[in-house]
A and B are shown apart, each in its own frame.
Chain A
Amino acid sequence: MKISDILAQKGGQVFTIRPDQTIHEALQVLVSHNIGGLVVLDENGKIVGVLTERDVLRFVAAENPDFSTAVHNVMTKNVIIGAPQDDLHSVAHTMTEKRFRHLPVVEKGKLMGIVTIGDVLKAQRDSYQGQVYTLQTMIIAEE
C-alpha cells in the first residue's frame, strides 16, 4: 500500500498557515478544525515547517508565553516530507522511529496532502482486518 492510497481515501485537504502569522491565529485554526498540526508555507507555497500540538505545548510551557509570537519562532523546521509513491510500511516505520506524527506529502513541488500517524494506523488496521475478513468469509462459505 502506498501513501497515494491513503490520500485517495482521505482527500488532499491540508490546513496551512504562513510563518509570519501569530501563534494565536494558529491556535484558532487548530481548534476550529479539531486538528493537531498545520503545514507552514511561505509566500511561494514552499513548506518551511510544521506547527504541531507538541510545538505549541512547548511554547505554552515557557514562562509568560506571548501569543502574538510569529509561527516561525515556534514551528518545527526540519520537516520530513513524503511522496505519494512512498510505501505505507516504510512511512509507518519512520514515523514511529523518529517520533513524528504529521507527514506533508509533496509531488513535483506541490503540497498534495498530509498523512498523520492516525491515518497510518487506520490503514494498517484496515489492511489486517481485510485479510482476516477474507479468510473468515472463505471459511464460512465452505461450511
Chain B
Amino acid sequence: MSKIGTLAEPLRVAIIGSGPSAFYAADSLLKRANLSVEVDMYDRLPTPFGLVRGGVAPDHQKIKSVTKAYDRTASDPHFRFYGNVEFGTDVKLEDLKQYYHQVLFATGAQTDRPMNIPGEDLKGSHPATEFVAWYNGHPDFRDLEFDLSQERVAVVGIGNVAMDVARILCRTPEELTQTDIADYALEALRNSLVKEVYVLGRRGPAQAAFTNPEIREMGQLQDCDIWVPPEEAELDGLSQHDLATSHDRATQTNVEILQEYAQHQWTGKSRRMIFRFLVSPVELRGNENGQVTCMKLVKNELYRTDVGTLRPKATGQYEELPVGLVFRSIGYRGVPLPDVPFHERWGVIPNQLGRVTDPQTNAPVPGLYTAGWIKRGPSGVIGTNKPDAVETVNSMLEDAAAGVAFAPTRPGVEEAQALVAARQPRSVTYADWQKLDQMEIQRGQEVGRPRLKFTRVEAMLNALGK
C-alpha cells in the first residue's frame, strides 16, 4: 500500500497553468477527505485565471466573478501560486520530477486554426484570439496593432469568440468604459472608424451555436443597427424539418430573433452589424501594399450526412465583400509543451481519463496528467472544466494509491520554493497577485472603471516592488 497522500508523505502536485481547469483540479485535490496534499500552481504570467482574465469579454464582467471561487481555493494553506514562472524555461519537467509526485498540465488551447485559403496572411487578416488577447490586456499581445481605420470588417465564424469580437468592435466608447478592457484598446476603439461588421457563418441560422442571450444582446447595442439579409434568415427545407421535429426551444428562439433582425430598418446608428449565413471565405485579396481589401465568398447549401448532421457544401456561386480587416475564429488548438506528448491532429495532449499517454503505445506516462482544453479540446463553458478536472484528479489519486508516481528526492514545500527562487527570483505569489488585483481595482476606481489592468509584466513586477 502506497504511503503517498498520507501525513508521512503528502502528495505533491505541480499544476502548470492557472485557468479554470487548473483551479478546479486544485480544488478537487484539496477537498478530498483523508488525503494529505500540497498543490503548487505555476503560470508563465504573473496573473492567474487564464482565459477568465485574458479571454472572457470585458463587457461580460459577471462571468468573471467565477474568480471569487478560485480565490477560495487559493486561500487553502496547502496551496501555493508561482506566477511569472515558465514551464520549460524556468522549470523543466526533469526538475519537477525531483520535487513532485505528479505534474498536471492545464495550459488551454492557445492558438487558432487557420482558414487555409489564399491571402490569409495579408496585412489586416488576424486570428480573433489575438484581438481578444489584445483588448484584454494580455502582455504578449498588448503591442499588436489592428487597423481600426478600416470601415468594413469581416468576422469569420459565429461561435462565442466571433460574437465577442463583433460586439466589442460595435460598442461605443461609453459602453466600453464600463468594462475592464485594456486602456490602450479603449483608446484605439474610441478612435475606430469601423462602420460595418460582417459576421459570417458557414451554415444557416438553425446551426448557429450561440445562445439566446448572446444573440439578443447584439440587438441591444447602444449605437449599432443589426441586420440579417431576409433570404439568409429563412430556413432551408432540411433545417425546417429538423427544427420542427426536434422541439429544440433554444434553436427555435435563435431563429426567431434572427428573423426579427431581418425585418430591421436602418435607424441611422453609427455602426451596422450584419449577420451572413451559408457563406464561406475562399480567398482574401489585397492591394499593392499587401493589405486586405476584399474577401471572396462562396455561397453554401446544406446537405445531410449519414448521421444526420447538416453540413455546408459550396454551390459555385461567388460574391465579393469589400473589407479591410478580417478576424478568423473557426476553432482553437493547444500548443505543444516541452517534453510532453502532443497530438498534432487534435491539438491536445493525448490522454485517457486525464492520464497523459504515449502516442506510440497508448500507455499512460506515469506521473503526467492533463485537464481542461489541452486535454479535451476547446469545448464547453467555464464550468465544463469542473467535471473534466475531477475526472483527472480521480485518475491521479487512483495512481497515487497504487504508488504510480514520480519518486521525488526533494518533496518538501520549502524545497520547491527554493527551486523557484533560484530559477525565477521575480516569481509572484498569490498574495502578490491579490495586491496587484487591488491596485488594478483602485486604479480603475480613480477613472470610473471596474478595473484598470496592468498589461506589461515589467509594470506588474515593478508595482509589486520585485
The residues of A with any CB-CB pair to B shorter than 8 Å are 1, 4-5, 7-13, 80-83, 85-87, 90-91, 93-95, 103, 125-127, 129-138, 140-142
User: Which of A87, A93, A130, A131 is the one whose CB lies under 8 Å from B385?
Assistant: A130
B308 close to A (CB within 8 Å): yes
Partner of A103, one of B66, B307, B350: B307
- Whether the Cβ atoms of B308 and A93 lie closer than 8 Å is yes
Q: Which of B351, B381, B384 has the most CB of A within 10 A?
A: B384
Question: What residue in chain B is nearest A85 (Cβ atoms)?
Answer: B311
Tell me if B246 counts as interface (CB < 8 A to partner A). yes
Interchain Cβ contacts within 8 Å, total number: 115
Set of chain B residues within 8 Å of A125, measured between Cβ atoms: 387
B368 CB to nearest A CB, Å? 15
A87 to B306 CA separation, bound complex (whole angstroms): 12
Taking the closest CB of chain B, its distance from the CB of A86, in whole angstroms, is: 4
Check if B305 is an interface residue, CB within 8 A of chain A: yes
Contacts A5-B376, A8-B346, A13-B362 known; A94 to B308 CB distance under 8 Å? yes
* Smallest CB separation, A32 vs chain B (Å): 14
What's the Cα separation between A133 and B307 when bound, in Å?
30
B contact residues, total (Cβ < 8 Å): 40
B307 engages A91 (CB within 8 Å) = yes
**Within the assembled complex, what's the spacing in Å between the Cα atoms of A135 and B384?**
11
Q: Which residues of B contact A (CB under 8 A)?
A: 62-63, 65-69, 207, 242, 246, 305-311, 343, 345-348, 350-352, 357, 362, 375-377, 379-388
Out of B346, B348, B381, name the residue touching A131 (CB < 8 Å): B381
**Distance of A78 Cα from B311 Cα, bound (Å):** 22
Question: In the complex, what distance in Å separates the CA atom of A4 from the CA atom of B332?
Answer: 12
* Nearest A residue (CB) for B311: A85
From A1, A85, A90, A138, B62 is in contact (CB under 8 Å) with A138
Minimum-distance CB pairs A-B, first 6: A130-B384, A133-B383, A134-B383, A8-B377, A141-B68, A8-B346
Cα-based distance from A4 to B305 in the complex (angstroms):
15
What's the nearest-Cβ distance from chain B to residue A3, in Å? 8
Give the distance in Å from the alpha carbon of A137 to the alpha carbon of B66 in the complex: 6
**Pick the contact of B307 from A5, A10, A80, A131 — CB < 8 Å?**
A80
A95 to B309, CA, bound (A): 12
Q: Are B386 and A4 in contact (CB under 8 A)?
A: no
For residue A24, give the distance in angstroms from its CB to the closest CB of chain B. 25
Measured between beta carbons, the chain B residues less than 8 angstroms from A127 are: 379-380, 384
B49 to chain A, nearest CB (A): 13
Pair A9/B375 contact, Cβ less than 8 Å: yes
B380, closest chain A residue (CB): A130
